[in-house]
Structure 1
Amino acid sequence: MNYKWNYQPPTPEQREAARALAKEIGISPILCRLLQERGITSAAEAKRFFRPQLSELHDPFLMKDMDIAVDRLNKAMGRKERILVYGDYDVDGTTAVALVYKFLQQFYSNIDYYIPDRYNEGYGVSRKGVDYAYETGVTLIIVLDCGIKAVEEISYAKEKGIDFIICDHHVPDEVLPPAVAILNPKREDSTYPYDHLSGCGVGFKFMQAFTINNGIEFHQLTPLLDLVAVSIASDIVPIMGENRILAYHGLRQLNSNPSVGLKSIIDVCGLSEREINMSDIVFKIGPRINASGRIQNGKEAVDLLIEKDYQAAKEKSNLINQYNETRKDLDKNMTEEANKIVDNLEHLDERRSIVIYNEDWHKGVIGIVASRLTEIYYRPAVVLTRTDNLATGSARSVSGFDVYKAIEYCRDLLENFGGHTYAAGLSMKIENVEEFSRRFEEYVTQNILPEQTSATIQIDAHLDFRDITPKFFFDLKKFNPFGPDNHKPIFATLNVYDYGTSKVVGRDQEHIKLELVDNKSNNVMNGIAFGQSSQARYIKTKQSFNICYTIEENTHRRGEIQLQIEDIKPSRNKAL
């Protein structure tokens, strides 16, 4: 891949401000510059960033309708009403249902949970789900990670005497459903201080308000933070502000004392002997939980997440792991088919977006295929398949481009849509696919920036090898957890040389294990360049080259620093 490296050197004023902050808090000016880029300019703000405190969570009653929601839940429990906890079939939805159900079950037994079937019911609140609630005597549904657009379905439930409390984080329409309470920080009339909670995060805030109102100690809620961390990582929401506090403490819970269900997934993933980070959730834990809803039914994921017996949980995890293997095979085959379709699109070089449709594709995997296409072609992608008489699909976006707004631009062609900046779902009549593709392309062309459609690496800072000390790495680790709005920093070092011992490794000799030096010190730096063995011949010429990388701990040798090389360029290349 021929990446362009983007680097914006700090101004003299920025350098001076970073030096002043560094002197105050005792870390490298380079890292202080990274803090400034995150809006952190004082020692007090740095302390809050590096040591997020649960006491700094916002008052949940600042969220509109929270008092109404808690009052309705209290009444339901006082009257012994049957309560149904209802959620989406993805990771965010299933973790949210598990969290609310597990917490309330400690105090109340007349409670059930429900996950709609992706294939029979589709996304969100379904009439079938409402009918199930009615038939089982439910009079209150708490719906999580969906429901904000379910105007007809919630009206239907209301006719049957069923109330709804909506806990959602997707962008609402102008008309809100007739629910008793709508907890959503993205409401037009919201005054809540933080907009970017996950669906599970909104459920957590609801339970936090419930504890305050009922005099329950907050520490009874904190063991469920592992579920919130899994939702935040998997739903790719920003990891600053309140999400950072929740993710930080959720990761601590996940590493020290995870729930039985999550412990069994950790073991199945082979992560039990190492410290789990957000990337482990994104690439290993999350996909396994998701596989249940993609291949079978998301209810199985909730069954696992609320399981109290380890042996039973291990059996469920092994089954979900098998679903994930099936998902991988489907994903691989569909991505290959999708690539062939895209390669045959007319005027592909001129297009700024990709919209493809195949009525035979598996509905459970189209979101993953859309993600793959954005990674390969650096364009927003919509992948559609046929469900009954509609084209249904998923959209994914490139960094910085709001795909939800692009879909909203085409709303008159759609039967339904929902989502957020980087991911959305939609459905339309099959005869509208061609016009949708044209209109979507029109919007993207008018609004996307050139740098958002090219293979770019954003360099955060230039380092010499002498800068990479054990203390520098120790302080860098305090930036965890990483994710959107707090990405893992990528550094560049110019004019480095092979120490003479670098070699090609891997089953297919596809990686390079590097030992490198620069001309500023005697430090020999270890590095690994995955999938870049084509560069080995140049590296061995003893000419200098430039590298960009993240700084990691060697998983095989604890405490040893290793560079994970993202890209290699000859020094003569004017990339920076």
Structure 2
Amino acid sequence: MTLFGFDWEVLNNSANTTPFEKILKNRGFSANDLKDETIHDPLMFPDMEKAVARIKQAIANKERIMVFGDYDADGISGSAILIRSLRQMGAEASCRIPHREEDGYGLKMKFVDEFIKLGVKLVITVDCGIACPREVEHAQDNGIDIIVTDHHDIPLEPAKMAYAIIHPRYTEGYPFKHLSGSGVAYKLASALTEDGYKYLDLASIGTIADLVPLIGENRSIARRGLKQMAKTFWRGLNALKNTANISEFDLKNMDGDMIGYRLAPRINAAGRIKSPYTALHLLISDDEKVEELAIELNDLNLQRQDLVKKIISEIEYDESEKIIFVIGDWQKGVLGLIAGKLGEITNKPVLAMAEKDGVLTGSARSPAYFDITQALKQADKLLKEYGGHKKAAGFGVEKKNFKKFKEVLLEQIATVQIPAKKLTLDCELTEEDLSLDLVSEIDRFKPFGEENAHPKFLIKGVQVQEVKMVGADGSHLKLVGSLGKKRISGIKFKTGQVAIPKGVISIAGSLKKDSYASEGWGVMIEDLG
């Protein structure tokens, strides 16, 4: 049994290959893929020319255009891309973002009715819309053309009445199927304007934050976007970078964690705790108010952290069930975070829900072994709405249907064997492998993310020399050991009080540059055995 309870799986034990070659093979990459920053022609989307022509017609006729986005970092960054590009073209463009608590996800009838009264003639959705067939049909029937830009799973009843659908998986034609919502918005902006490259930094936020596979064109968008973000055109984004302590070096060094763990949570905090317009206004504004907005987002993120920590410490659930269902008097904006945290603890799918007016609104998170959105599709007739990806989804179900809904989901997972928490390691490292040169080779795979995780390794036969708990609250484990003549310094954060390892051990973890270590590198420990 390992110290932190993982099952270790080493992917590649091939002889006579270097760790770098093994990592390449594990990911299905070639060395050339690491340098490739190709971005496909946006006109490869079957409906793109039609969408561009309609938008240009609306601008020429001075029709009012409404961008309708989602309230998460992907939707907000994508909405900012389209608002900026449309206004640059001289469009009369406004934006609506639904409120998590009051409106929920997606295009609702109340918004369509508002647009009808306002005389809007064209609506462009961002990161939503494909699962809103009735709302789209209602708009089209009332003289409003809808251009859907989305990337979520195609539901059983998609919004096929839309004027145009820009979605990488809706029809054949576009070669890359895994774009984020902001990635799709970027493609539309690129088709509309000659300087679409200006929006790559905004597109990289949603691409990294939404956990789409960071391969192929997504990797290109992320790499080019991070480099551009170092010298961004946008004053609001620059203010948020400064508030989040993200340096030009971090971005040029392709550190995607700066987006995933610093920038995106602050953008998301607006919609989770207060209003998503705080984040949107930051990204589309270039005046002196952006500094105040950046500080406000930082404060909201701190509130969000404290709230989720309190909920997780108090929550109760049935550990015997294969799917964890929890219902509480919580803000809708933190349901996904609750589900994610419980999923990390239990290694099971989790549905976190809050009730209002007889309806349970929920967020679902699932480990890779269970496709939660496919499971929701099996309960399609019981749900008011749903949508998402393999590992994350949102839904709404009337309370009177919850018992049956729960039964349907538990039926889907009944024959699934819940695996032990697995730690996937790229390969074993020898004494000779451990070097700063290897760390530099690993950095060539940046930015890390979904389907291109930071490489993790097995290091056997480490002689423990010193172990201590460090940090203000003594919750981080610091280890110093040796493998032959190589000194190894490692740390694991937030372990709590654990048994102190002694003697000769195995380490599972990743290598990172560490200016404080005499070797210039250190180990981010995942587990000890």
Asked if structure 1 preserves the Cα contact closer than 8 Å seen for 2:427 and 2:456, the reply is: yes
**Residues 390, 482 of structure 1: CA spacing in aligned structure 2 closer, same or farther, 3 A cutoff?**
same
2: CA distance, partners of 1:527 / 1:154: 54
Pick from 159, 163, 183: which aligns with 2:166? 183
**Residues 138, 408 of structure 1: CA spacing in aligned structure 2 closer, same or farther, 3 A cutoff?**
same
2: CA distance, partners of 1:225 / 1:103: 12
Pick from 498, 522, 529: which aligns with 1:562? 522
**Residues 558, 204 of structure 1: CA spacing in aligned structure 2 closer, same or farther, 3 A cutoff?**
farther
Aligned equivalent of 1:319:
296
2: CA distance, partners of 1:496 / 1:559: 16
1: CA distance, partners of 2:90 / 2:112: 22
- Where does structure 1 lack aligned partners over 5 or more consecutive residues? 20-28, 570-576
2: CA distance, partners of 1:73 / 1:546: 60
Which structure has the highest helix share of the two? 1
Residue 258 of structure 1: CA displacement?
Answer: 6.2
Pick from 486, 489, 493: which aligns with 1:526? 489
Please give the per-residue CA displacement for 1:308-355, whole angstroms capped at 9, x wherever unaligned: 13x4111001112222222223212322333x2x1xx2xx34x32112
Aligned equivalent of 1:173:
155
Asked if structure 2 preserves the Cα contact closer than 8 Å seen for 1:63 and 1:183, the reply is: yes
Pick from 24, 33, 58: which aligns with 2:22? 33
Query: What code does the residue aligned with 2:370 have?
Result: F
Asked if structure 1 preserves the Cα contact closer than 8 Å seen for 2:250 and 2:258, the reply is: no
Residue 556 of structure 1: CA displacement?
Answer: 5.4
2: CA distance, partners of 1:97 / 1:132: 19
1: CA distance, partners of 2:166 / 2:518: 44
In the TM superposition, 1:8-47 aligns within 5 A as 8-11=11-14, 15=15, 19=17, 29-40=18-29, 45-47=30-32
User: What is the TM-score when the length of structure 1 is the normalising length?
Assistant: 0.86
Residue 487 of structure 1: CA displacement?
Answer: 0.9
Residue 472 of structure 1: CA displacement?
Answer: 1.5
SS in 2 for 1:248: helix
Query: What code does the residue aligned with 1:266 have?
Result: K
Query: What code does the residue aligned with 1:175 have?
Result: E
SS in 2 for 1:182: strand
In the TM superposition, 1:132-151 aligns within 5 A as 132-151=114-133
**Residues 529, 356 of structure 1: CA spacing in aligned structure 2 closer, same or farther, 3 A cutoff?**
closer
Query: What code does the residue aligned with 2:377 have?
Result: E
Aligned equivalent of 1:262:
237
Residue 197 of structure 1: CA displacement?
Answer: 0.4
2: CA distance, partners of 1:412 / 1:199: 27
Aligned equivalent of 1:482:
448
Residue 534 of structure 1: CA displacement?
Answer: 4.6
Asked if structure 2 preserves the Cα contact closer than 8 Å seen for 1:406 and 1:443, the reply is: yes
User: What is the TM-score when the length of structure 2 is the normalising length?
Assistant: 0.94
Aligned equivalent of 2:437:
471
SS in 1 for 2:390: coil
1: CA distance, partners of 2:216 / 2:54: 29
**Residues 449, 203 of structure 1: CA spacing in aligned structure 2 closer, same or farther, 3 A cutoff?**
farther
Aligned equivalent of 1:26:
none
Aligned equivalent of 2:279:
301
1: CA distance, partners of 2:509 / 2:173: 40
**Residues 109, 210 of structure 1: CA spacing in aligned structure 2 closer, same or farther, 3 A cutoff?**
closer
Aligned equivalent of 2:220:
245
1: CA distance, partners of 2:517 / 2:249: 12
2: CA distance, partners of 1:379 / 1:516: 35
Pick from 77, 94, 97: which aligns with 1:112? 94
**Residues 327, 530 of structure 1: CA spacing in aligned structure 2 closer, same or farther, 3 A cutoff?**
closer
Asked if structure 2 preserves the Cα contact closer than 8 Å seen for 1:547 and 1:568, the reply is: yes
Aligned equivalent of 1:403:
372
Query: What code does the residue aligned with 1:271 have?
Result: I
Query: What code does the residue aligned with 2:212 have?
Result: V
2: CA distance, partners of 1:8 / 1:286: 31
Pick from 304, 320, 327: which aligns with 1:357? 327
**Residues 314, 557 of structure 1: CA spacing in aligned structure 2 closer, same or farther, 3 A cutoff?**
farther
Structure with higher RCO (Cα < 8 A, 6+ apart):
2
2: CA distance, partners of 1:150 / 1:191: 23
Residue 286 of structure 1: CA displacement?
Answer: 1.0
1: CA distance, partners of 2:521 / 2:92: 53
Query: What code does the residue aligned with 1:505 have?
Result: V
Asked if structure 1 preserves the Cα contact closer than 8 Å seen for 2:269 and 2:297, the reply is: yes
**Residues 258, 444 of structure 1: CA spacing in aligned structure 2 closer, same or farther, 3 A cutoff?**
farther
2: CA distance, partners of 1:308 / 1:33: 46
Residue 129 of structure 1: CA displacement?
Answer: 2.0
Please give the per-residue CA displacement for 1:123-182, whole angstroms capped at 9, x wherever unaligned: 111223223323333211111100112112122222331111000001223433221101
Pick from 141, 165, 171: which aligns with 1:159? 141
Please give the per-residue CA displacement for 1:90-113, whole angstroms capped at 9, x wherever unaligned: 111100000111122212141111
1: CA distance, partners of 2:20 / 2:248: 29
Residue 426 of structure 1: CA displacement?
Answer: 0.6
Asked if structure 2 preserves the Cα contact closer than 8 Å seen for 1:535 and 1:568, the reply is: no
Aligned equivalent of 1:548:
508
Asked if structure 2 preserves the Cα contact closer than 8 Å seen for 1:504 and 1:536, the reply is: no
2: CA distance, partners of 1:503 / 1:331: 29
Aligned equivalent of 1:2:
5
CA RMSD of aligned residues (A): 2.0
Asked if structure 2 preserves the Cα contact closer than 8 Å seen for 1:465 and 1:517, the reply is: no
Query: What code does the residue aligned with 1:186 have?
Result: R
Asked if structure 1 preserves the Cα contact closer than 8 Å seen for 2:368 and 2:390, the reply is: no
SS in 2 for 1:138: coil
Pick from 15, 36, 39: which aligns with 1:52? 36
Residue 494 of structure 1: CA displacement?
Answer: 0.5
Asked if structure 2 preserves the Cα contact closer than 8 Å seen for 1:548 and 1:566, the reply is: yes
Aligned equivalent of 2:424:
458
2: CA distance, partners of 1:389 / 1:411: 18
Paired positions, count = 522
Asked if structure 1 preserves the Cα contact closer than 8 Å seen for 2:146 and 2:164, the reply is: yes
Asked if structure 1 preserves the Cα contact closer than 8 Å seen for 2:26 and 2:426, the reply is: no
Residue 533 of structure 1: CA displacement?
Answer: 6.7
Answering whether residue 394 of structure 2 is matched by residue 422 of structure 1, we say no
Identical residues among aligned pairs (%): 32
- Where does structure 2 lack aligned partners over 5 or more consecutive residues? none
Answering whether residue 306 of structure 2 is matched by residue 336 of structure 1, we say no
Aligned equivalent of 2:470:
505
Asked if structure 2 preserves the Cα contact closer than 8 Å seen for 1:226 and 1:258, the reply is: no
**Residues 555, 325 of structure 1: CA spacing in aligned structure 2 closer, same or farther, 3 A cutoff?**
farther
Query: What code does the residue aligned with 1:221 have?
Result: G
Aligned equivalent of 2:60:
78
Aligned equivalent of 2:81:
99
SS in 1 for 2:172: coil
